């Protein structure tokens, strides 16, 4: 049987008047359903480009992306995208914000609305429906953004450094919450990050990328004892720091080669 997501020999080049920069060079991998995978690498390794290609926001110069055995051409309803910052619309209330995807996709029904509101309650934002985003803290806003993404019930979530703009404590809490929510709803997730600890704590597998051009250099399987644990618990486990050291050296060697 074919994997849930297959990325096959994808390359992407950005053209400007003076240069042609290869952001991704011949990247291939596959991801199984329900898996949590992190893309780890220095900045400029084309992680965000890759995510945009999987979300079909941009078309790769070469290669194909297959989702559940089908080649994807246009925006796919089963892919949800979360950005670095919340990008909640400041002129909409939280409720209007989390219904945004439902409205755009034309699936705004009593049932989907109720589900979105249940998600909002489940994530600890009960009572904020009629607030505006600027009345909420950074962590709350990012949680509302998660609800907005989940409201349309995507099968796969693309997370583009969603915790990087938050303070450390909020970040740890939100990692925990997102991880639990995704496991509860059995979502497949792709996380782009440059934070080694975050990648180890949250993922089942880590893909290590090198920069300029972006290449997939190595894949690490997180040991099962860590995979079972929630991000916060995983950070306390003795294997965690071992793995951290190991990945640190790997990343370092990638950068010093340059």
Binding footprint of other proteins on the chain (CB under 8 A): 55, 57, 74-75, 77, 79-81, 83, 85, 87, 89-91, 100-101, 104-105, 132, 134, 148, 152
Q: Between residues 79 and 125, which has the closer beta carbon with respect to other proteins? A: 79
CB of 11 to other proteins, least distance (A): 22
Q: Between residues 152 and 188, which has the closer beta carbon with respect to other proteins? A: 152
CB of 64 to other proteins, least distance (A): 20
Q: Between residues 26 and 93, which has the closer beta carbon with respect to other proteins? A: 93
CB of 75 to other proteins, least distance (A): 4
Query: What's the 3-state SS for the chain?
Result: CCCCEEEEEEEEEEECCCCEEEEEEEEEEEECCCCEEEEECCCCCCHHHHHHHHCCCCCCCEEEEEECCEECCCCCCCEEEECCCCCCCCCCCHHHHHCHHHHHHCCCCHHHHHHHHHHHHHCCCCCCCCCCHHHCCHHHHHHHHHHHHHCCCCCEEEEECCCCCCCHHHHHHHHHHHHHHHHHCCCEEEEEECCHHHHHHHCCEEEEEECCCEEEEEEEECCHHHHCCCHHHHHHCHHHHHHHHHHHHHHHHHHHHC
Q: Between residues 70 and 242, which has the closer beta carbon with respect to other proteins? A: 70
Q: Between residues 45 and 55, which has the closer beta carbon with respect to other proteins? A: 55
CB of 258 to other proteins, least distance (A): 30
CB of 134 to other proteins, least distance (A): 7
């Amino acid at each position: 049987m074919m994997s849930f997501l297959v990325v096959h020999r994808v390359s992407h080049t950005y053209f400007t008047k003076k240069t042609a920069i290869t952001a991704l060079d011949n990247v291939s991998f596959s991801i199984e359903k329900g898996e949590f995978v992190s893309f780890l690498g220095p900045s400029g390794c084309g992680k965000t480009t890759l995510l945009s290609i999987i979300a079909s926001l941009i078309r790769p110069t070469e290669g194909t992306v297959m989702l559940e055995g089908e080649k994807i051409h246009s925006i796919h309803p089963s892919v949800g995208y979360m950005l670095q910052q919340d990008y909640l619309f400041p002129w909409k209330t939280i409720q209007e914000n989390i219904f945004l995807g439902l409205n755009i996709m034309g699936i705004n029904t009593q049932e989907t609305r109720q589900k979105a509101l249940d998600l909002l309650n489940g994530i600890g934002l009960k009572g904020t429906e009629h607030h505006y985003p600027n009345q909420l803290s950074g962590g709350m806003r990012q949680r509302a953004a998660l609800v907005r993404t989940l409201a349309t019930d995507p099968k796969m979530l693309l997370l583009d450094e969603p915790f990087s703009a938050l303070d450390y404590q909020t970040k740890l809490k939100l990692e925990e919450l997102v991880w639990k929510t995704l496991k509860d709803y059995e979502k497949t997730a792709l996380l782009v990050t440059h934070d080694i600890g975050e990648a180890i704590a949250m993922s089942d597998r880590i893909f290590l990328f090198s920069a300029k051009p972006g290449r997939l250099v190595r894949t690490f399987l997180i040991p099962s004892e860590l995979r079972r644990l929630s991000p916060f618990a995983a950070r306390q486990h003795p294997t965690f720091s071992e793995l951290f050291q190991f990945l640190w050296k790997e990343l370092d060697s990638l950068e010093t080669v340059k």
